[in-house]
């Protein structure tokens, strides 16, 4: 007799429990996740810190930036920009940018690379002082510092790495990525590994979200775009899957969403907008039945949830959201609920108090 198929409630519990495992060390968590998305907005802390605080023992805001030089991790691009393990780098480099530099930009990059090699770790302001490349137009039409823009491009192309940060600003040093086997079989193997990495981080994944994430791998590995599409097709043929309400879902081999190991406790968690549990908005709506949105770039009068609403997870249900800030040395919290009111459960109120205390401690209040 075939085993019972998972229901949507099983997938909800699976999504929460497999991502929010018992806390451990920072290095182990980054290895476990493979990639932690970064975001510069601090409300009340940066997204990477808000993501890590649920998973790292005794984590405090800013620990990742402070400990970065000793962790053996890298700032780089995968499906977006963030922090990843060095075991992932050979899957991404040597990276070929989708837009080639012209001769002038290439010559500027060679000059800056020689400058950084001679100096060692180099702050962008030192490059600006030495070369004064002027300004360039940004994506939104604003003028950008051309030296900073060039350094970003050199980092993306694998000429530089982030040595550390000073007050949030990236300090660069020269790097040379080793040559890799570029045969068709080796390229296919790298693509398989990248697809497996994003599945392991964001599973269970509906088919549309799985395709979207593989498409986003074109940001971190544009040179493997064709191979990643083929890897997705191979994965769909072999991975465990179930169809619920016409949607195909996938998860890693060896996991059973119905298993008792995927238990969730009586905890409230305020999640980062980019936390793996809630990152994909399509999956979010399928699992929890309402359309959470990040509205940091939405005009205030049009916002439904707030500037930087944190999804409010209670057990395995996202029951609302919270806008959290710091004022006069204390925590400020504005809560909203999908049902219009808080869960009528005494355990919820106590768990919310515990989470707000954890947030205060994390922020050093």
Q: Would the pLDDT of 26 be above 60?
A: yes
Q: Kindly report, residue by residue over 253-281, the tens digit of the pLDDT.
A: 999 999 999 999 999 999 999 999 999 99
Q: What is the percent of the chain where pLDDT is above 70?
A: 96
Question: For 78-158, where are the E strands, in sequence order?
Answer: 81-85, 135-137, 143-145
According to DSSP, the residues that pair with 86 across neighbouring strands are none
Domains of the chain from N-terminus onward: 24-92 (no CATH), 103-174 (1.10.10), 268-363 (no CATH)
| Dihedral over Cα of 272, 49, 175, 113: its sign | positive
For the packed helices 207-220 and 184-202, what is the interaxial angle rounded to 10 degrees? 120
Neighbours of 69 (CB within 10 A): 14
Q: Would the pLDDT of 1 be above 80?
A: no
Q: Would the pLDDT of 355 be above 80?
A: yes
Q: How confident is the model at residue 143 (pLDDT cuts 50, 70, 90)?
A: low
Please give the Cα distance from 320 to 263 (Å, whole number): 21
DSSP state at residue 130? H
What burial class does residue 162 get, using C-beta atoms within 10 Å of its C-beta: 0-12 exposed, 13-18 middle, 19+ buried? Answer: buried
Please give the Cα distance from 295 to 126 (Å, whole number): 36
Q: How confident is the model at residue 137 (pLDDT cuts 50, 70, 90)?
A: low
Q: Kindly report, residue by residue over 186-230, the tens digit of the pLDDT.
A: 999 999 999 999 999 999 999 999 999 999 999 999 999 999 999
């Amino acid at each position: 007799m075939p085993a019972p198929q998972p229901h949507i409630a099983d997938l909800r519990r699976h999504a929460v429990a497999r991502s929010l495992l018992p806390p451990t060390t920072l290095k182990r968590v980054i290895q476990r996740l493979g990639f932690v998305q970064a975001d510069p907005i601090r409300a009340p802390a940066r997204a990477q810190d808000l993501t890590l605080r649920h998973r790292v023992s005794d984590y405090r805001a800013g620990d990742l930036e402070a400990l970065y030089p000793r962790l053996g991790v890298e700032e780089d691009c995968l499906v977006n920009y963030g922090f990843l393990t060095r075991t992932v780098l050979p899957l991404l480099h040597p990276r070929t940018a989708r837009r080639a530099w012209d001769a002038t930009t290439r010559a500027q990059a060679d000059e800056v690379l020689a400058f950084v090699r001679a100096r060692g770790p180099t702050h962008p302001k030192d490059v600006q002082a030495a070369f004064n490349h002027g300004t360039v137009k940004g994506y939104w039409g604003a003028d950008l510092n051309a030296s900073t823009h060039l350094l970003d491009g050199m980092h993306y192309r694998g000429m530089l790495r982030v040595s550390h940060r000073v007050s949030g600003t990236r300090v660069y040093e020269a790097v040379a990525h080793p040559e890799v086997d570029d045969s068709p079989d080796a390229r296919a193997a790298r693509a398989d590994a990248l697809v497996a990495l994003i599945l392991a981080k964001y599973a269970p994944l509906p088919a549309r979200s799985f395709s979207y994430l593989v498409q986003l791998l074109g940001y971190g590995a544009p040179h493997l775009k064709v191979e990643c599409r083929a890897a997705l097709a191979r994965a769909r043929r072999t991975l465990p899957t179930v169809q619920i309400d016409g949607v195909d879902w996938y998860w890693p081999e060896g996991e059973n969403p119905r298993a008792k190991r995927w238990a969730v406790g009586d905890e409230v968690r305020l999640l980062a907008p980019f936390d793996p549990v809630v990152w994909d908005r399509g999956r979010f709506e399928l699992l929890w039945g309402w359309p959470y949105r990040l509205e940091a770039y939405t005009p205030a009068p049009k916002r439904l949830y707030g500037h930087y609403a944190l999804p409010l997870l209670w057990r395995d249900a996202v029951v609302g959201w919270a806008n959290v800030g710091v004022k006069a040395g204390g925590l400020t919290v504005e809560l909203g609920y999908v049902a219009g009111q808080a869960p009528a459960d005494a355990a919820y109120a106590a768990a919310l108090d515990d989470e707000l205390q954890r947030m205060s401690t994390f922020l050093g209040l």
